Amino acid sequence: MNDFPLLRDLIIILAVALPITFAFHKMKLPAIAGYLVTGIVIGPYGIRLIFEMEAVKTLSEVGVALLLFTVGLEFSLTRMTRNIKTIVGSGGIQVVLTILGVLTIAYSAGYSLQQSFFFGFLISLSSTAIVLKMYTDRGEIDSPHGKFSVGILLFQDLCVVPMILLIPVLAGAGDTSLKVIVLTLLKAVIAMSVIFFASRLLVPTLLNQVVKLKSREFLLLFVVLLCLGTAWLTQYFGLSLAMGAFIAGLIISESEYSSQVVVEILPFRDFFSSIFFISIGMLLKIYYLSDHLIYLMLLTTGIIIFKIVLTLVSVVLFQKSLRIAFISALRLAQIGEFSFLLAEAGLRLQLIGNDDFQNFLVSAILSMITAPLLIHVSYNLSLKLQSLFSVSKTGWGEGEGKEMNEHVIIAGYGLNGRSLTQVLKETRISYIVIEINTERINAGKAAGVQMMYGDITSKEILHKAGIERAKIIVFAISDPLSIRSGINIARQMSPHIHIIARTLYASEVEDLMSLGANQVIPMDFETSVEIFSRVLKEYNIPGNLINRYVDMIRMDGYGMLRGLSISHEKLKDLYKYLLMTTTENYLVTGDSTAKEKSLKELDLRHKTGAVIIAIVRKGEVKVNPDPDLQIETGDLLILLGSHAQLNRALNLLSAKI
């Protein structure tokens, strides 16, 4: 009977991984930690279900290649140049400070310079998979701290490439001179450039031809060939598989098909990368963990605190708000998934010893398990930190809003904030904008907008904006937690103020109103309104009736969309509302059948049932017009009738001469 060891190992991996990752999901812990625990359980130092790791390692290398491929796909050069200050500034300082800090500590502890550098590489990276998933799930990806965290993660992911290149140099027999390092990087850059530009000339043409076939299977085969083929080429030139996969992803990232490629490759990436993390978990020695438990717990705590402090410093230099910097620091305090890739390469090249590898492995796993907890408590802790440094009420000074009365306070100068300021300018209503983004503040001041730097969750800032004398405060920001906190604080400081807030989802309306908001505008609802309005317009449903449908849904605080019941009395009102007579407007154009005809000749009532009750001509309204009145180009006809009558009338009037 034939034996398939690899098939047996895959069955064991899947059978054990599924219940463990399911349990981690229920506990709201990252799946990566579940994969690592799976490896610990089934590996040679666990219950020994798998003890031959060569085949598993081969599959894990494919997982690493696919992991770097998707990083390249999602690493848009265009997006990087737009946020270059955040990415290179905060990200660069964080990586450099962490490497130098770890280098100093490790070198003082007796490690070689090469090993100390290598430890700095391992600790400097944070988990893109964990942090981005948590931000996405919490709807905070566009918040100020979300943008800073993503910028730092982007820079860290980019740093993985040169770090992989430098590991063989650091592992050399003492030859780590600046010349060797520069030559190695130069060789990598030349090889990458040749492969990149050669592929750049060829791949877009091939990709266009593949897409024209309209076959998902063919597209998938081409993408896998490109990923693995480029990875093999880079390995042939003496570089790594991961490097080639990253280049392949980078080539496709600027293509209009990149989103579809991500969708096609994700299942394969998730499967093979999970095997990579499981293979790393197999290397952990359980007896080592039990023998050094207290030391490893202290080491993990030290790494987390160390990363929080250095990340806080790097963000504060570019983000004046200590609260935003603190949130970002807490959320990037774990060790990243790419650190496992570096650690495994270092172990293979004997750059790191077995004991140090075990110390790193346990600390990384524990930091990942701790990450969701730190992310969860980061916001509330940041508010407490802010309150510690805030000035007491008696010490509040007057700010930009001291001369204003009955004005509008606008939180945020994004698209919604800019639109509102333009309208308020035109209507001569006084306002002040509170913004935390310095680039937006500069743009606002250049446009003549009354801007004020500050955090909307700060009582001191709201006081300086004159909240006690303001009539309305509008929360036009993308940070759901800051909106909730800001509404609560604003209501406490000014019981009479009218609070308007935006939110992503209609399900959040009730909660925000319970905090003190007077009006909450859910963005998903407003999008749906625009969609169904345009659909109804294509069927010539009268505009005023469409508006009534919108008003009907907006009644009771969007309760209909949230599945809440409406009272019997309100249903009666809605029924009467829909039974009201409807009207429609029609502008007479040069090719309309109504042009140069009298109302009698048009005979609209006899043909369609609808009636022309008024004509607007050159700004003058002719109510109940005479039957002999001749219709002219540019006239606006006001029609009255039922839905069907108005639809027939519009079709008749729109018919070409």
Give the DSSP H or E segment for 586. Answer: strand 582-587
Domain span holding position 127: 61-384
How many other C-beta atoms can be found within 10 angstroms of the C-beta atom of residue 168?
Answer: 15
Confidence band, pLDDT 50/70/90 cuts, at residue 503: confident
What is the structure's pLDDT at 2?
Answer: 55
pLDDT at 554: 61
Q: How many domains does the chain have?
A: 3
In the structure, what pLDDT confidence band is assigned to residue 373 with cuts at 50, 70 and 90? confident
Whether residue 274 lies inside any domain: the answer is yes
| Residue 219 and residue 315 in one domain | yes
Q: For 382-527, where are the E strands, in sequence order?
A: 408-411, 431-435, 451-453, 472-475, 498-503, 519-522
Same domain for 365 and 438: no
Question: Is 111 a member of any domain?
Answer: yes
Task: Report the alpha-carbon distance of residue 427 to residue 476 in Å, rounded.
Answer: 19
Residue 188 lies in a domain: yes
For tokens 């987390």, the residue is 304
Asked if residue 482 and residue 367 are part of one domain, the reply reads no
Mean pLDDT across the chain, nearest whole number?
79
Lowest mean pLDDT segment, chosen from 149-153, 303-307, 405-409, 560-564: 560-564
34: three-class secondary structure by DSSP = helix
Type of residue at 362: V
pLDDT at 351 over 80: yes
Same domain, 336 and 412: no
CATH of the domain at 604: 3.30.70.1450
Which of 321, 356, 384 marks a domain boundary? 384
pLDDT at position 574:
45
Query: What pLDDT, on a 0 to 100 scale, did the predictor assign at position 118?
Result: 93
457, two tokens: 């969750």
Q: Is residue 364 part of a domain?
A: yes
**Tens digits of per-residue pLDDT, 163-217?**
887 888 787 744 555 566 666 667 667 766 766 676 667 777 787 788 778 777 8
Whether residue 327 is found in the same domain as residue 441: no
* Shared domain check, 202 and 128: yes
Residue 571 has pLDDT above 60, yes or no: no
User: What does the pLDDT read at residue 402?
Assistant: 64
One domain, residues 304 and 411: no
3-state secondary structure 139-160: CCCCCHHHHHHHHHHHHHHHHH
Helix (H, G, I), strand (E, B) or coil at 601: helix
The arithmetic mean of pLDDT across residues 12-38, rounded, is 85
Gap between the Cα atoms of 99 and 101, Å rounded: 6
Per-residue confidence (pLDDT) for residue 473, from 0 to 100: 92
Which residues, 6 or more positions from 83, have their beta carbon under 8 angstroms from its beta carbon?
A: 147, 151, 154
Q: What is d(CA 329, CA 568) in angstroms, rounded to the nearest whole number?
A: 52
DSSP single-letter state for residue 85: I
- Same-domain status, 275 and 178: yes
Least confident of 142-156, 231-245, 484-498, 572-586: 572-586
Burial of 501 (0-12, 13-18, 19+ CB in 10 A): buried
Q: How far apart are CA 363 and CA 367, in angstroms?
A: 6
**Please, which pLDDT band fits residue 603 given cuts at 50, 70 and 90?**
confident
Which of 503, 518, 544 represents a domain boundary (last residue)? Answer: 503
Q: What is the pLDDT of residue 568?
A: 45
Six token digits for residue 159: 């740093």
Cα–Cα distance, 334 to 123 (Å, whole number): 9
Lowest mean pLDDT among 215-219, 292-296, 613-617: 215-219
pLDDT value, residue 119: 94
pLDDT of residue 97: 92
**């308007």: which residue's tokens?**
500
Q: What pLDDT shows up at residue 332?
A: 92
Alpha-carbon gap, residue 378 to 93, rounded angstroms: 22
Q: Given 453, 471, 503, which residue is the final one in a domain?
A: 503
Percent of the chain at pLDDT > 70 equals 81
The reported pLDDT for the residue numbered 459 is: 85
Q: Where are the beta strands (DSSP E) in 134-222?
A: none
Whether 576 is covered by a domain: the verdict is no
Least confident span in 31-40, 49-58, 151-160, 622-631: 49-58
DSSP-derived 3-state class of residue 520: strand
User: Does the residue 248 lie in any domain?
Assistant: yes
Q: In what order do the strands lie in the sheet with 582-587?
A: 582-587, 636-641, 611-617, 620-623
Tell me how far the alpha carbon of residue 269 is from its chain's centroid: 20
**Are residues 261 and 180 both part of a single domain?**
yes
31-42 vs 258-281: helix crossing angle, rounded to 10: 40
pLDDT confidence bin for 577, thresholds 50/70/90: very low
Report pLDDT for 524.
66
Residues 6+ apart with CB under 8 A from 350: 171
Residue 149 to residues 262, 421, 486, Cα–Cα distance (Å):
22, 29, 22
Provide the CATH number for the domain around residue 473. 3.40.50.720
What number is the average pLDDT over the span 374-392? 75
pLDDT in tens, 221-273: 888 888 888 878 777 766 667 667 777 777 777 676 776 777 777 777 778 77
Q: Is residue 657 part of a domain?
A: yes
- The 10s digit of each residue's pLDDT in 79-138 is 556 666 667 778 888 899 999 999 999 999 989 888 999 999 999 999 877 787 777 667
- Rounded distance, CA 341 to CA 570, Å? 62
Percent of the chain scored above 90 by pLDDT?
11
pTM strictly above 0.85? no
**Distance of alpha carbon 140 from alpha carbon 313, whole angstroms:** 22
Q: Are 142 and 227 in contact (CB under 8 A)?
A: no
Q: What is the largest CA-CA distance in the chain?
A: 104
What are the φ and ψ backbone dihedral angles of 391, each rounded to 5 degrees? -80, 145
Residue 478, pLDDT above cutoff 70: yes
C-alpha 149/C-alpha 90 separation (Å) is 9
The reply to whether 462 and 410 lie within a common domain is yes
How far, in Å, CA of 553 to CA of 434, rounded? 32
C-alpha 385: how far from chain center: 26
Q: Give the pLDDT of residue 538.
A: 72
319, 418: one domain: no
Residue 578 has pLDDT above 50, yes or no: no
pLDDT attached to residue 80: 57
pLDDT > 90? residue 300: yes
Asked, for residue 39, whether it belongs to a domain, the answer is no
pLDDT for the residue numbered 499:
92
Contact status, residue 185 vs residue 123, Cβ threshold 8 Å: no
pLDDT at residue number 646? 84
Question: What three-state secondary structure class fits 614?
Answer: strand
How long a stretch of residues is the chain?
Answer: 657
Rg (CA), the chain: 32
| Selected residue with higher pLDDT from 56 and 481 | 481
The CATH number of residue 196's host domain is: 1.20.1530.20
Residue 622 has pLDDT above 50, yes or no: yes
Instruction: Report DSSP letters for 378-397, one per residue.
Output: HHHHHHHHHHHHSPPGGGPP
* Same-domain check for residues 585 and 449: no
